Amino acid sequence: MKPLHFPCKKYSTKITSLGLALVLLISLASPTSSCTEQEKGSLLQFLAELSQDGGLATSWKENGTECCAWEGITCGADGAVTDVLLALKDLKGGVSPSLGNLAGLLRLNLSHNSLTGVLPLELLSSSSIIILDVSFNHLNGEMQELPSSTYARPLQVLNISSNLLRRQFPSSITWEAMNNLVALNASNNSFTGQIPSHFCISSPSLAVLDLCYNQFTGSIPPELGNCSKLRVLNAGHNNLNGTVPNELFNASLLEYLSLPDNVIEGVLDGSQIVKLGNMVTLDLGGNNFSGKIPDSIGQLGRLEELHLHQNKMSGELPSSLSNCTNLISINFKSNYFNGELSKVNFSTLPKLKTLDLLYNNFSGTVPKSLYSCSNLTALRLSGNNLHGQLSTRIGDLKHLTFLSLAMNSFTNITNALHVLKRCPNLNTLLMGHNFRGELMPEDDFIGGFENLQVLALNDCPLFGKMPLWISKLANLEMLILYNNQLTGSIPSWIKDLKHLFYLDISNNSLTGEIPANLMDTPMLHSEKTIFELPVYSGRSLQYRIRIAFAKMLDLSNNKLSGEIPLEIGQLESLVSLNLSFNELTGQIPISICNLTNLLVLDFSNNSLTGAIPAALNSLHFLSAFNISINDLEGPIPSGGQFNTFQNSSFDGNPKLCGSTLTQKCGPASTPPVTIMASKQTDYKVPFVIAFSLFFGVGVLYDQTILSRYLG
Ligand SMILES: *[C@@H]1O[C@H](CO)[C@@H](O)[C@H](O)[C@H]1NC(C)=O
Ligand SMILES: *[C@@H]1O[C@H](CO)[C@@H](O)[C@H](O)[C@H]1NC(C)=O
Ligand SMILES: *[C@@H]1O[C@H](CO)[C@@H](O)[C@H](O)[C@H]1NC(C)=O
Ligand SMILES: *[C@@H]1O[C@H](CO)[C@@H](O)[C@H](O)[C@H]1NC(C)=O
Ligand SMILES: *[C@@H]1O[C@H](CO)[C@@H](O)[C@H](O)[C@H]1NC(C)=O
Ligand SMILES: *[C@@H]1O[C@H](CO)[C@@H](O)[C@H](O)[C@H]1NC(C)=O
Ligand SMILES: *[C@@H]1O[C@H](CO)[C@@H](O)[C@H](O)[C@H]1NC(C)=O
Ligand SMILES: *[C@@H]1O[C@H](CO)[C@@H](O)[C@H](O)[C@H]1NC(C)=O
Ligand SMILES: *[C@@H]1O[C@H](CO)[C@@H](O)[C@H](O)[C@H]1NC(C)=O
Ligand SMILES: *[C@@H]1O[C@H](CO)[C@@H](O)[C@H](O)[C@H]1NC(C)=O
Ligand SMILES: *[C@@H]1O[C@H](CO)[C@@H](O)[C@H](O)[C@H]1NC(C)=O
Ligand SMILES: *[C@@H]1O[C@H](CO)[C@@H](O)[C@H](O)[C@H]1NC(C)=O
């Protein structure tokens, strides 16, 4: 039979879903269609309750009256609708309970739309649905409980993750009725209350339980240990406390146990952990775990990811760790681990890609066996007590992109650079707080480093000059050399670093003038402001960090002399400019008023003369301003940001006058009054504060992270 055709042209294309649905509903009358009138009605009712259907009404209309042929709908052999698969259809509005009337519906997938309102109880309590996926929508409100008399439901997969569901998570009553449940994903909502204890007593087949990114409290229910089929337990990023119950280790099929960022305490019991011989991922980071890593960890032969970071764990690493030959990622950062790293034979871990030991008390040298891990992409050993020289074998790590050795006692920087230039993929090299009192190598033959983007050699202190080899780092974006004892002038080749946008050479003994061609550095005056710190840019996405770095020029605390070059006005996207504590003379160039993105401007403690350019009040973002202790004169500009600066910004300039200063401006000028010089402030603090005020709190956090990397 020929399906009934709609006279499309007669209807306005602007017709609403509701209108069209009603029209469809009324005009569908083919007696031979295999789906029933009631099913059609239910589907059209669903359509009608949407506020935006993403073209679904049009598509269904074009496909005639036979609803089994409609886009996203599949019917079984008996003609009953079995599948409603409408993920990624740009649907908006509420989810109609009418879908619960589709008596043969097995699979309902509405994920990745913009559906709002509650999840209708009719769908949860459906006596046919086995897979229900409404993830990635904007469903809100509470999840309703099933009535306590509900008979066993067939639902096997329930994905309500990434919605806006909140308040109390459904209690055991609901889950008792779900005794066929295999996978429950409620992650990334705002559920509160305790994790229900009844899951596996009623749903013995539960294999996947994902409750991460919610606000669950209380402890992990010991009853979960009865989940004999459980493979995945993810309850990270909640407020769980207490200890991991020993019963949980009865769930011997567990492959993925992830509980990061809670307040769970206790020790890793070696006799329990061995029961989880199938474990692939163990993530307990960001909790209050203490004690040692048990020797029996070596029996977890399938282990790929071991993340114990940010806990209070201590002791030496067990040598049995080298038995976990499938390890890909180890993160032990921010604990109290100690002892020699050479206790572990890393050469048996050929798959290792990231090793993070930041902030522990490890001592000794870098174990030679580590150089066999040829797939290593990120290695962070910073913040320990390691010493010695780097082995030439580090050049065997051809995939290494991120290396941080900062805050240790490594020696021989010449050697370090010579061996590291053999790592062709290195893009981040952080080695500050090492090489105490050594000479900055001036060797022109340090080639390599083709991909280096970030170089930090701060706080050593290093003697010598800013070396020519740096000029050959063609991709360098951040150069961090503060707190050293470098002498000589700022080299004019600095302009050859075409990608440089962050230069911190403060706290050295650099002399001479600020080279005018520094302002020619292309990136310093181009528009690009977002920079992705290539931290851990390996496979493990977890370690990618996007940070909006401000363009920064910090030449403070040196012995620079001469005038501030006029060309400084070219650096229009500069966010922070610090020239304080130098011996600069002459006037503040009026071109400074071009730097309209400045948040921080510090010219304090120099010998600048003349007037403050009045047009500086047009720098609307300026939130930290300091020109104290110079020899400036005349009135302080008024208006704009200038009304917000404290007097201390201007202290120590006896010839300045202003309405808030002791010395008022005016025709009958009073004799100059000496104002006490302000103490040297930590110029990095106002920068971070100002910066975070501008870009939001998240950036303050990122800056803190950065300061950890750079040490
Ligand atoms: C339904 O119509 C759309 C056009 O709107 C077409 O792309 C799709 O293939 C049709 N589906 C079926 C099952 O005929
Ligand atoms: C639902 O559809 C999305 C998008 O196609 C898919 O990623 C997801 O796996 C589906 N859900 C289920 C349970 O199959
Ligand atoms: C929802 O969760 C189920 C079970 O874990 C999974 O099969 C499905 O792919 C998930 N849906 C999406 C969109 O990721
Ligand atoms: C749960 O859903 C989220 C998306 O909301 C997804 O990223 C995650 O992988 C899912 N969990 C499991 C165990 O499938
Ligand atoms: C959490 O849910 C929000 C809103 O649906 C979504 O934008 C975000 O990507 C989700 N996060 C994760 C980690 O899946
Ligand atoms: C686990 O199940 C057994 C038998 O079904 C039962 O005796 C025991 O009390 C359960 N344990 C927990 C912690 O629920
Ligand atoms: C866990 O937190 C709850 C509050 O959420 C508190 O009542 C309880 O005492 C805590 N338990 C432990 C062991 O700290
Ligand atoms: C589960 O773990 C508990 C505590 O570790 C133990 O007493 C019990 O015998 C184990 N086995 C079962 C089946 O509950
Ligand atoms: C490490 O592996 C070896 C050989 O497979 C085994 O004999 C030994 O018991 C394991 N050690 C530990 C601590 O698991
Ligand atoms: C190293 O990484 C490559 C690419 O990811 C992979 O094909 C190879 O198997 C890895 N080697 C080892 C020993 O795991
Ligand atoms: C430092 O390394 C260089 C180059 O590898 C080497 O020639 C020199 O002897 C080393 N210096 C010391 C003190 O070990
Ligand atoms: C100020 O910016 C303009 C372009 O916006 C540029 O042409 C001019 O040279 C700059 N002035 C100075 C003094 O750098």
Torsions phi, psi of 124, nearest 5?
Answer: -60, -40
Query: What are 222-244's pLDDT values in tens digits?
Result: 999 999 999 999 999 999 999 99
Q: Which two tokens stand for residue 21?
A: 């649905």
User: Which ligand has its closest atom nearest to the C-alpha of 199?
Assistant: 6
User: Which ligand has its closest atom nearest to the C-alpha of 374?
Assistant: 10
Fold of 555-684: 3.80.10
Q: pTM for this one? A: 0.84
Q: Is the pLDDT of residue 674 over 90?
A: no
Domain 1-26+106-263 matches domain 377-551+692-711 at the CATH topology level: yes
Residue 3 Cβ < 6 Å to ligand 6 = no
State the average pLDDT over residues 197-219. Answer: 91
Q: What is the pLDDT of residue 549?
A: 64
**How many A from CA of 609 to the centre of ligand 11?**
48
Residue 241 Cβ < 6 Å to ligand 7 = yes
Residue 412 Cβ < 6 Å to ligand 11 = yes
Of all atoms in ligand 1, which is nearest to the CA of residue 58? Answer: 5
Helix axes 37-48, 17-27, angle to 10 degrees: 170
Name which residue sits closest to atom 14 of ligand 3, judged by CA.
Answer: 135
Contacts of range 611-616, beta carbons closer than 8 Å, 24 or more positions apart: 611/587, 611/635, 612/588, 612/636, 612/637, 612/656, 613/588, 613/637, 615/590, 616/592, 616/642
Mean pLDDT of the chain: 84
Of all atoms in ligand 8, which is nearest to the CA of residue 272? Answer: 5
Q: What is the pLDDT of residue 274?
A: 95
- Please answer whether residues 564 and 586 qualify as being in contact, where contact means their C-beta atoms are separated by less than 8 angstroms: yes
**How many A from CA of 647 to the centre of ligand 1?**
72
Name which residue sits closest to atom 10 of ligand 5, judged by CA.
Answer: 162
Residue 247 Cβ < 6 Å to ligand 6 = yes
**What is the dihedral angle through the alpha carbons of 446, 449, 450, 455, rounded to the nearest 10 degrees?**
-120
Q: What is the pLDDT of residue 528?
A: 55
Fold of 377-551+692-711: 3.80.10
Q: Which of 18, 5, 116 is nearest to 63 (CA)?
A: 5
Residue 145 Cβ < 6 Å to ligand 6 = no
Name which residue sits closest to atom 1 of ligand 9, judged by CA.
Answer: 323
Torsions phi, psi of 585, nearest 5?
Answer: -125, -175
Of all atoms in ligand 2, which is nearest to the CA of residue 131? Answer: 13
Indicate the top mutation candidate among 202, 206, 223 to test ligand 6's pocket, ranked by most ligand atoms within 8 A of CB: 223
Q: What is the pLDDT of residue 526?
A: 62
Confidence of residue 108 (pLDDT cuts 50, 70, 90): very high
- Please answer whether residues 121 and 96 qualify as being in contact, where contact means their C-beta atoms are separated by less than 8 angstroms: no
User: Which ligand has its closest atom nearest to the C-alpha of 62?
Assistant: 1
Task: Choose between 668 and 481: higher pLDDT.
Answer: 481
Query: What are 396-445's pLDDT values in tens digits?
Result: 999 998 899 999 999 999 999 999 988 988 988 999 999 999 999 987 66
Confidence of residue 659 (pLDDT cuts 50, 70, 90): confident
Residue 250 Cβ < 6 Å to ligand 8 = yes
Q: Hey, what CATH class is 1-26+106-263 in?
A: alpha beta
State the average pLDDT over residues 573-587. Answer: 93
Torsions phi, psi of 436, nearest 5?
Answer: -55, 125
Q: Is the pLDDT of residue 668 over 50?
A: no
Residue 425 Cβ < 6 Å to ligand 7 = no
Q: What is the pLDDT of residue 660?
A: 77
Q: Which of 53, 57, 66 is nearest to 22 (CA)?
A: 57
Residue 270: strand, helix, or coil: helix
Q: Is the pLDDT of residue 539 over 80?
A: no
Residue 569 Cβ < 6 Å to ligand 6 = no
Q: Is the pLDDT of residue 687 over 80?
A: no
Q: Is the pLDDT of residue 175 over 90?
A: no
Q: Which of 132, 128, 103, 106 is nearest to 119 (CA)?
A: 132
User: Which ligand has its closest atom nearest to the C-alpha of 137?
Assistant: 5
Q: Is the pLDDT of residue 525 over 70?
A: no
Span of 131-135, 196-200, 267-271, 279-283 with lowest mean pLDDT: 196-200
Q: Which residues' Cβ are closer than 6 Å to ligand 9?
A: 295, 298-299, 320, 323
User: Which ligand has its closest atom nearest to the C-alpha of 69?
Assistant: 1
Q: Which of 349, 354, 294 is nearest to 327 (CA)?
A: 349
Helix axes 684-695, 697-710, angle to 10 degrees: 140
Residue 225 Cβ < 6 Å to ligand 8 = yes
Could you tell me where the beta strands, DSSP code E, fall in 332-380?
336-340, 354-356, 361-364, 378-380
**How many A from CA of 223 to the centre of ligand 6?**
7
Name which residue sits closest to atom 1 of ligand 8, judged by CA.
Answer: 247
Name which residue sits closest to atom 1 of ligand 12, judged by CA.
Answer: 594
Indicate the top mutation candidate among 133, 162, 206 to test ligand 3's pocket, ranked by most ligand atoms within 8 A of CB: 133
Indicate the top mutation candidate among 323, 325, 343 to test ligand 9's pocket, ranked by most ligand atoms within 8 A of CB: 323
Indicate the top mutation candidate among 220, 241, 244, 264 to test ligand 7's pocket, ranked by most ligand atoms within 8 A of CB: 241
Q: Which of 402, 403, 429, 405 is nearest to 536 (CA)?
A: 402
Residue 703 CA to residue 693 CA, distance in Å, equals 12
Name which residue sits closest to atom 2 of ligand 7, judged by CA.
Answer: 218
Q: Which residues' Cβ are closer than 6 Å to ligand 3?
A: 111, 133, 135-136, 157, 159, 183, 185, 208
Of all atoms in ligand 8, which is nearest to the CA of residue 247? Answer: 2
Query: What are 14-56's pLDDT values in tens digits?
Result: 344 444 444 444 444 333 347 888 898 999 999 999 999 989 9
Q: What is the pLDDT of residue 680?
A: 35
> Is 526 exposed, middle or buried (CB count within 10 Å of its CB: 0-12, 13-18, 19+)?
middle
Q: What is the pLDDT of residue 495?
A: 87
Span of 87-96, 372-381, 528-537, 571-580 with lowest mean pLDDT: 528-537
- Please answer whether residues 279 and 254 qualify as being in contact, where contact means their C-beta atoms are separated by less than 8 angstroms: yes
Q: Name, in order, each residue with C-beta under 8 angstroms of 3's C-beta and a sequence gap of 6 or more.
A: 30, 33, 64, 65, 66
Q: Which two tokens stand for residue 674?
A: 């000496």
Question: Buried b / exposed e across 701-711, counting CB within 10 Å, b at 16+?
Answer: ebbeebebbbb
Nearest 5°: the CA angle 679, 685, 689 is 130
Of all atoms in ligand 2, which is nearest to the CA of residue 109? Answer: 1
Torsions phi, psi of 470, nearest 5?
Answer: -65, -30
Per-domain boundaries in the chain: 1-26+106-263, 377-551+692-711, 555-684
Q: Which of 343, 439, 453, 347 is nearest to 403 (CA)?
A: 453
State the average pLDDT over residues 665-683. Answer: 42
Distance of CA 357 to the CA centre of its chain: 19
Residue 680 Cβ < 6 Å to ligand 11 = no
Q: What is the pLDDT of residue 180?
A: 92
**How many A from CA of 320 to the centre of ligand 1?**
59
Name which residue sits closest to atom 9 of ligand 10, judged by CA.
Answer: 351
Q: Which residues' Cβ are closer than 6 Å to ligand 12?
A: 566, 569-570, 591, 594
Of all atoms in ligand 3, which is nearest to the CA of residue 133? Answer: 1
Give the C-alpha distances (Å, rounded to integers) separating 153 from 106, 131, 172, 617: 12, 11, 14, 69
Confidence of residue 301 (pLDDT cuts 50, 70, 90): very high
**How many A from CA of 418 to the centre of ligand 11?**
10
For residue 343, the number of C-alpha atoms closer than 13 Å in the C-beta half-sphere is 16
- Please answer whether residues 39 and 29 qualify as being in contact, where contact means their C-beta atoms are separated by less than 8 angstroms: no
Confidence of residue 5 (pLDDT cuts 50, 70, 90): very low
**How many A from CA of 189 to the centre of ligand 4?**
12
Torsions phi, psi of 591, nearest 5?
Answer: -60, -15
Q: What is the pLDDT of residue 19?
A: 47
Residue 400 CA to residue 406 CA, distance in Å, equals 16
Beta bridge mates, 230: none
Residue 688: strand, helix, or coil: helix
Q: What is the pLDDT of residue 267?
A: 96
- Please answer whether residues 299 and 324 qualify as being in contact, where contact means their C-beta atoms are separated by less than 8 angstroms: no
Q: Which two tokens stand for residue 488?
A: 């000589």
